[in-house]
């Protein structure tokens, strides 16, 4: 059946996520603030979950209703055909958020939506009680400007949880944002890639996954795999489709970090991601950064002076790293930082900047060509 979908994403990544969905052949792709909408088939649930690099999760849009009052919200949700998705024994917890709306109490909205879904399913299944002993069908809601949208979450754990990084470092970079930095650099597997502040290895690993064209969701599970109405065969089909698009070549990808424990973690993460043969990790001081390659891409996320060190320490680190990096020839740099004085400390103004968010931290991607 034809389905409408919503893919939430970090602010600043909407265009990249929309491009991914178009390349996957989705129809009706439309980027909005913090999300991308599209339509597709049952198979596209698996296709999007397995292949998306920059989206946070894949949600089915179950319906939209006015939410000026709890009565209107209740009646609107009760009118939605949720029996198309939730079976008689389905478990359906409710969570969500409300912004700029009269109905701002999240617990009260949860109760009203849950009650409306219960009444709908009881009537459709002609029962007096729903046992909720089966698989989980997570309901999400978003109420904005007194309009409520009801979703079903097909992903389960967020898509940034690829499965290769069970433990991060003290200030982990979200995998979806690392993948976005790789995309924005236009890396295609030809140039040398270096990350002098690699931490747990997220940027080099995402660069390697992009180079070999490996779908990031190949080796993890998704909530919708266990849904009764969804043919389990499509997950195997979409997995094989993704594997058929992989490349087999050699790449020059390097990650360095001054903390030897981070390097150990990065090596293990790369092994779990299946790309350890494409990346070299070594303990190294970024302030003495130098690579023998004739040029390439520096993609990195140095400390911001918020979670790992003081702002003054971060400024001194930027200054010393800038001195080393500016001595290199024919290298393009993409450096993510939330520090407002980054360019001054680094010693050079960026050719271009792009606003991005690392979780809730507002950042800039400073691009040097």
Considering the domain architecture, whether residues 202 and 310 belong to the same structural domain is answered as: yes
Structure tokens given for 64? 């939209």
Give the neighbor-by-neighbor strand order of the sheet with 331-337.
Answer: 279-283, 253-257, 192-195, 296-300, 331-337, 361-368, 352-358
Angle CA 51–338–298, to nearest 5: 60
Query: Tell me, what's the pLDDT at 8?
Result: 97
Q: Taking the CA of residue 83 as centre, how many other CA atoms within 13 Å lie in the half-sphere pointing to its CB? A: 13
Structure tokens given for 296? 């390439």
Per-residue pLDDT band at 310 (split at 50, 70, 90): confident
| CATH code: domain of residue 329 | 3.40.50.150
Q: What is the mean pLDDT of residues 27-42?
A: 96
Q: Is 318 helix (H, G, I), strand (E, B) or coil?
A: helix
- Over residues 138-184, the pLDDT tens digits come to 999 999 999 999 999 999 999 999 999 886 555 579 999 999 999 99
The residue from 122, 153, 184 where one domain ends is 153
Considering the domain architecture, whether residues 134 and 206 belong to the same structural domain is answered as: no
Structure tokens given for 114? 């849950």
Cα–Cα distance measured from residue 313 to residue 183, given in angstroms and rounded to the nearest whole number: 30
Single pTM value for the model: 0.93
Considering the domain architecture, whether residues 183 and 326 belong to the same structural domain is answered as: yes
Considering the domain architecture, whether residues 293 and 356 belong to the same structural domain is answered as: yes
Query: Of 7, 10, 369, which is closest to residue 178 (Cα–Cα)?
Result: 10
| Residue 56 domain-assigned (yes or no) | yes
Residues in the chain: 369
Considering the domain architecture, whether residues 44 and 119 belong to the same structural domain is answered as: yes
Domain range enclosing 116: 3-153
Strand (E) positions, the chain? 3-8, 27-32, 35-40, 59-66, 94-99, 139-144, 147-153, 192-195, 253-257, 279-283, 296-300, 331-337, 352-358, 361-368
Query: Tell me, what's the pLDDT at 309?
Result: 57
Considering the domain architecture, whether residues 201 and 145 belong to the same structural domain is answered as: no
Pairing of strands 331-337, 147-153: unpaired
Per the structure, how many domains does the chain have? 2
| Residue 295 domain-assigned (yes or no) | yes
Considering the domain architecture, whether residues 139 and 262 belong to the same structural domain is answered as: no
Query: Tell me, what's the pLDDT at 171?
Result: 59
């Amino acid at each position: 059946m034809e389905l409408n979908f919503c893919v939430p994403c970090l602010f600043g990544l909407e265009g990249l996520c929309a491009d991914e969905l178009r390349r996957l052949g989705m129809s009706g792709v439309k980027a909005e603030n913090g999300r991308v909408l599209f339509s597709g088939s049952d198979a596209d649930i698996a296709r999007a979950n397995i292949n998306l690099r920059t989206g946070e999760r894949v949600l089915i849009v179950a319906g939209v209703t006015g939410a000026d009052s709890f009565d209107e919200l209740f009646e609107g949700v009760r009118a939605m055909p949720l029996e198309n998705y939730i079976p008689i024994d389905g478990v359906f917890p409710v969570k969500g958020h409300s912004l700029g709306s009269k109905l701002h109490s999240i617990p009260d909205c949860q109760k009203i939506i849950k009650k409306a879904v219960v009444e709908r399913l009881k009537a459709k299944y002609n029962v007096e009680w729903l046992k909720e002993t089966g698989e989980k069908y997570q309901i999400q809601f978003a109420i904005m400007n007194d309009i409520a949208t009801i979703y079903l979450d097909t992903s389960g754990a967020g898509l940034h949880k690829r499965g290769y990084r069970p433990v991060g470092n003290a200030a982990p970079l979200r995998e979806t944002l690392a993948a976005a930095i790789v995309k924005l650099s236009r890396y295609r597997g030809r140039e040398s890639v270096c990350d002098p502040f690699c931490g747990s290895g997220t940027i080099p690993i995402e660069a390697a996954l992009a180079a070999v064209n490996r779908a990031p969701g190949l080796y993890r599970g998704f909530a919708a795999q266990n849904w009764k109405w969804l043919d389990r065969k499509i997950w195997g089909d979409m997995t094989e489709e993704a594997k058929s698009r992989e490349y087999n070549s050699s790449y020059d990808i390097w990650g360095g970090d001054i903390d030897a424990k981070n390097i150990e973690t990065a090596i293990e993460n790369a092994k779990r991601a299946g790309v350890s043969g494409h990346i070299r990790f070594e303990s190294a001081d970024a302030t003495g950064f130098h690579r023998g390659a004739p040029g390439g891409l520096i993609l990195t996320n140095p400390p911001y002076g918020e979670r790992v060190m003081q702002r003054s320490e971060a400024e001194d680190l930027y200054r010393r790293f800038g001195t080393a990096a500016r001595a290199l020839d024919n290298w393009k740099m993409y450096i993510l930082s939330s520090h407002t004085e980054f360019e001054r400390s680094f010693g050079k103004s960026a050719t271009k900047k792009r606003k991005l968010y690392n979780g809730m931290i507002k950042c800039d991607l400073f691009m040097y060509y």
